[in-house]
Amino acid sequence: MESFSGLDWAVCLALLATSIGIALVAGWQNRSSDLLMGRQLTCPLLVATLVATWYGDIFGVTQIAFEQGIYMFLTQGVAWYIAYLSFALLVAKKLRQSEALSLGDLVGRRFGPRSATLVNWLSLSAVLPVTTALCGGVLLQVLFGLPLLVGMVAMLVLAALCSYWSGFRGVVWSDGMQSITICAAVALVVVYSWMRYGGFSFLQSHLPSTYLQVSGGNWQRLLVWGWLAMATTFLSPAFYQCCLAAKDGRTARRGVFIACLVWILFDLCTLTGALYARVLLPQADSLHAYLYYGLQLLPSGLRGLFLAGLTATILSTLDSSLFLFTAIVVNDMRLMRHTSALLLAIAASCALPFLLGLHIESIWLTMHGLFVAVALLPLLLSRWLFLSDGGFVTCGLAGGFGMLMAMWWRSSIEPLFVGHLVSLIGVWLWKTISSSPTVNPTASRPSWPPAA
């Protein structure tokens, strides 16, 4: 870009090179043989890796804020904070006390191999960095004029190389520096906007009135996001990996609490920055608006820090997601080798955004919603019903089928809720047909959340 100076490039490249170098050095001695760092992840590292890997879809979040205002803070913020805190209180400590290596391993121990296979397949959709790859493509498209697909491939290949050579240990250590860069980048936009244009009164006087309505005019979608946030967090393979890698249960719980505080500040910054972009660049493409605004707003040198922060946000999520994807494929499912799994992840991450449309919120609701529709109710119902391996699979597949049919028929009811309804019908049919007792007769039957 013409507005980008040599100082900007120097700052950006220096910060990115340092974080990549940290990843390679930290992971060199133990590249990928240890999936959980010997279960010695400390609280600062746990917080850093949670913060750095949760915002790769930054342009999707700012797109929602640019289009719908503070609705974004409820759907992408408040709903998730409640879920994170609930996870910390109810699951994190108990989860760390288990001997499981992953979500799929935990499900397999409690229900059986077919249930584990189903959850592993659906976990791939949850960890596949489809929207993050799209954000990476958008970044390179804006900066260098590359075709969107070429930018996506380039960003994915760079992240794949980091993931392959550094492993989980390298990913975690590089997240420490990246998390600081990420938070500084979004904070700069707010500070400079406030100094130049004024505070909340400026936004209030220039924004459409609907931008300050919490529902965004769609209460059903707001309810879906609240439920999806809770369900996705309690089923997140990334959350499970971090908590299982923590030194102990207390570290896992405390790390999630502290990360949640950082996420609140981060979301307030991205929301505010996107609203300033909406006022000052109203005709911009909503997917690009935040990036354009930040680059036009900040002075030379700080533009480089802003760009480094956005790039680190995307790369840190991509390398963690690719590592999780390959870990599930190679270690849990034993389908192929590491390199082949990485190539599969790159191909799928590039193809799916175009197949599902290029609107990030819609992709989120489709991919994460399908995962939740299949896996959530069987896990919850296991607390009251004796679900065998077959019962779990029947209930899960019914939920996924119901959601897909609702999407196909363009139901007026949110597809996720239709999926849950069909899942309950599947449980009832399984209960009717199966000769096994369905009511849990003993207190020792495994339930969800996992017991200590």
Q: What is the pLDDT of residue 30?
A: 57
CB 105 within 8 A of CB 116: yes
Question: What is the average pLDDT score of the chain?
Answer: 86
173, amino acid identity: W
Question: Any idea which fold 6-358 has?
Answer: Sodium/glucose cotransporter (1.20.1730)
* pLDDT level of residue 216 (50, 70, 90 thresholds): low
Write the CB contacts of 313 (distance below 8 Å, at least 6 apart in sequence).
52, 55, 56, 58, 178, 182, 185
The 3-state DSSP composition of the chain as helix, strand, coil percent (nearest 5) reads 75, 0, 20
Work out the average pLDDT over 177-200: 94
Average of pLDDT values for 219-245?
Answer: 81
Query: In a 3-state reduction of DSSP, which class is residue 205?
Result: helix
Residue 444 pLDDT > 70 = no
Domain range summary for the chain, segments of one domain joined by +: 6-358
Give the span between the Cα atoms of 415 and 404, in whole angstroms: 7
Give the model confidence (pLDDT) of 83-98 as tens digits.
888 888 888 877 777 7
Residue bearing tokens 């170098």: 21
pLDDT at 1 over 70: no
Asked if pLDDT for residue 438 goes beyond 70, the answer is no
Whole-number Å distance between alpha carbons of 138 and 115: 37
| Percent with pLDDT over 90 in the chain | 46
**Average pLDDT, stretch 225-245?**
83
Count of alpha carbons within 13 Å of 199, Cβ hemisphere only? Answer: 1
CA-based nearest residue to 244, from 367, 360, 106: 106
The helix or strand, by DSSP H or E, that contains position 82, with its residue range, turns out to be helix 79-87
HSE, side-chain direction, 13 A CA sphere, residue 196:
14
The SS3 call for residue 245 is: helix
DSSP 7-57: HHHHHHHHHHHHHHHHHHHHHSTTSSS-TTGGG-B-HHHHHHHHHHHS-TT
Q: Are 22 and 173 in contact (CB under 8 A)?
A: yes
* Confidence at 152, pLDDT banded by 50, 70, 90: very high
| pLDDT at residue 134, as a whole number | 93
Residue with tokens 């290949």: 157
Task: Please give the structure tokens belonging to residue 223.
Answer: 């309810």
pLDDT at position 435 is 54
**Torsion-angle region of 451 (φ positive above 0: left; ψ -120 to 50: alpha; else: beta):** beta
Query: Mind listing the pLDDT tens digit for each residue in 253-295?
Result: 999 999 999 999 999 999 999 999 999 999 999 989 999 999 9
Q: Comparing 138 with 227, which gets the higher pLDDT?
A: 138
